[in-house]
Amino acid sequence: MTLQQPALTATAALARPAQRKDKGRRDRGRLFQEIGMLAPAVVLLAIFLIVPFLLSFWTAMTNQPLVPRPTPVRFIGLTNFLRILKDDLFWTSLWNVSRFTFWILPVQCGLAFATALLLHQKLPFRNFFRGLFFLPAITSMVVVCVIWGTLFQYPTGPLNQVIGFLSGGSIQPIDWLGDPNWAMFSIVLLSAWQAYGFQMIVYLAGLQGIPDELYDAARIDGANAFQRFWHVTMPGLRPTHVFVLVITTIQAFKLYTQVAVLTQGGPKSSTETVVHYMVRTGFEEQKLGLASAVSVILFLIVLVIALLQRQLLRRFDV
């Protein structure tokens, strides 16, 4: 044993460089595989996110018009951003979209949560009703706006007729889209009805992810229906609540189609939003540089919301 040991040690020493070489070859192969798997995502992010943002930021620093003019395009620095921040209509649009977000969150998320709880029960034809309630979410927003525009007609629209019939004529017809006090509420009502199906599906997925054993254990402990809901369902849906809350907030800040089809930002700018302000500045006023500055500001707002989402997800250990 003593004589063979140096021979084995020498063999191992000779084999060690070859092993390191094989390990290095495997590491390089794994690295190339990882780069190959990441490449499509990186290319798509660069094409659809990074490059457009850089182009928008550069355009925002110029006086670029929508239609080319004989005068050359000049670099004007932060002038467009300063003009926007001094524009009262921009702050009005930001206030309106914040107001819309504040209203849409409880209405849309609450409606989706209640519907998901109902359709999670063992009811007959529940799959049919799931599809029925999800149908508005896959319907074009323009089509939805045309339908609701008919319902909102003043003073003889179907909605006013129903309210007048139920109140016995004591409530006067409401100018849903022409009254500044009602216009944003009408947009909220329409938007919540059209989009709550998506949140409903997310809540249904969250409810199906809660183990039945937890409900069985709660029943054995004597918990009633409300106690099972409060101590089992609500904690089990905590990550779902966070996801739905953040996604709905981001979608709310991109409000545009409903306003463009129904109110054009009126009456008296009561439904003007940041995206509608940006599109109108870029295409109607043909100030592409100014509109790009609005898009950069909106991107930063959405980015802040995304960072808050990340912090919330970390806090709830999702």
- Report pLDDT digits (tens) over 112-148: 999 999 998 888 888 888 889 998 888 899 999 999 9
Structure tokens at 23: 């390990």
**Euclidean distance between the first and the last CA atom of the chain, given in angstroms as a whole number:** 57
Q: How many residues can be counted in the chain?
A: 318
Q: Quick check: 317 pLDDT over 80?
A: no
**DSSP state, residue 137:** G
Q: In this structure, are residues 193 and 132 in contact, taking their beta carbons and an 8 Å threshold?
A: no
pLDDT band, residue 5 (cuts 50/70/90): low
CA 218 distance to own-chain centroid? 35
Residue 10 confidence (pLDDT): 61
**pLDDT, averaged across the chain:** 87
pLDDT band, residue 6 (cuts 50/70/90): low
pTM: 0.81
Q: In this structure, are residues 231 and 148 in contact, taking their beta carbons and an 8 Å threshold?
A: no
Cis peptide before 173 (omega within 30 of 0): no
Q: Where are the domains of the chain?
A: 81-315
CA distances from 204 to 74, 106, 119, 125 (A): 54, 18, 8, 16
Q: Can you tell me the distance from the alpha carbon of 264 to that of 277, in angstroms, rounded to the nearest whole number?
A: 10
Residue 313 confidence (pLDDT): 66
**DSSP state, residue 177:** T
Pick 270 or 310 by higher pLDDT: 270
Q: Can you tell me the distance from the alpha carbon of 177 to that of 186, in angstroms, rounded to the nearest whole number?
A: 7
pLDDT in tens, 10-25: 666 656 677 777 777 7
| Percentage of residues in the chain having pLDDT higher than 70 | 92
Give the domain 81-315 fold.
Answer: MetI-like fold (1.10.3720)
Residue 189 confidence (pLDDT): 92
Residue 1 confidence (pLDDT): 45
The total of other beta-carbon atoms located within 10 Å of residue 141's CB is 17
Nearest residue to 117 via CA among 224, 219, 190, 199: 199
**DSSP state, residue 65:** -
Q: Quick check: 79 pLDDT over 60?
A: yes
pLDDT in tens, 182-234: 999 999 999 999 989 999 999 999 999 999 899 999 999 888 989 999 999 98
Residue 314 confidence (pLDDT): 67
pLDDT in tens, 232-244: 998 888 888 888 8
3-state secondary structure of 62: strand
Q: In this structure, are residues 305 and 250 in contact, taking their beta carbons and an 8 Å threshold?
A: yes
Structure tokens at 134: 């999800």
Residue 7 confidence (pLDDT): 54
